[in-house]
Amino acid sequence: MSPKLEFTLLRLWHAALAGGFVVAYVTADEDTYRMHVFAGYWVLGALASRLLLALAGSEAGPLRLRRPSLSFGKPGRNPLFAWMAALLLPALALGAVSGIIADGIPKAEDLHEGLAQAGLWLVIAHAATIAWIFQGRRIREFLSGAALIAAVLAAGPAQAGDPARDAILAAYAKEAGQPFSAARGEALYRSKNTASPDFASCATCHTNDPAARGQHAKTGRVIEPVAVSANPKRFTDAAKVEERFTRDCQTVLGRACSALEKGDYVTFLAAK
Partner 1 sequence: MKKFALAFCLAASPALADFAPPITDPVTLKACGECHMAFQPSFLPARSWDKMMANPADHFGDNATMAPDKAAQIRKVLMDGAADTNGGRMGSKVMKRQAAGATPLRITETAWFQRKHDLPERVWKRPGVVTKSNCVACHPAAEKGIYEDD
Tell me if 69 sits within 8 A of 79, measured CB to CB. Answer: yes
Binding of residue 69 to partner 1 (CB under 8 A): no
Minimum separation from the CB atom of position 247 to partner 1 (A): 5
Question: Within positions 79 to 118, which residues make up the interface with partner 1, using CB under 8 A?
Answer: 80-81
Give the residue with the Cβ less far from partner 1, 2 or 159.
2
Give the residue with the Cβ less far from partner 1, 186 or 261.
261
Task: Work out the number of other CB atoms within 10 angstroms of the CB of residue 224.
Answer: 11
Binding of residue 194 to partner 1 (CB under 8 A): no
Binding of residue 133 to partner 1 (CB under 8 A): yes
Q: Per-residue string for binding with partner 1, 223-262, x by CB under 8 A?
A: ----------------x---x--xxx-xx-----------
DSSP assignment of the chain equals --HHHHHHHHHHHHHHHHHHHHHHHHT-SGGGHHHHHHHHHHHHHHHHHHHHHHHHS-TTSTT--PPP---TTSSSS-HHHHHHHHHHHHHHHHHHHHHHHHHH-GGGHHHHHHHHHHHHHHHHHHHHHHHHHHTTHHHHHHHHHHHHHHHHHHH-SPPS--HHHHHHHHHHHHHH-S---HHHHHHHHH---SS-SS--SHHHHH-SSTTS-EE-TTT--EE---STTT-TTTT--HHHHHHHHHHHIIIIISSPPPHHHHHHHHHHHHH-
Give the residue with the Cβ less far from partner 1, 249 or 266.
249
In this chain, which stretch among 44-52, 91-99, 166-174, 218-226 interacts with partner 1, using CB under 8 A? 218-226
In this chain, which stretch among 44-52, 105-113, 126-134, 164-172 interacts with partner 1, using CB under 8 A? 126-134
Q: Per-residue string for binding with partner 1, 13-52, x by CB under 8 A?
A: ----------------------------------------
Q: Per-residue string for binding with partner 1, 140-179, x by CB under 8 A?
A: -x--------------------------------------
CA 140/CA 260 separation, integer angstroms:
47
Give the residue with the Cβ less far from partner 1, 33 or 134.
134
Which residues form the interface with partner 1 (CB under 8 A)?
Answer: 2, 59-60, 72-73, 75-78, 80-81, 129, 132-133, 137, 141, 215-216, 218-221, 239, 243, 246-248, 250-251
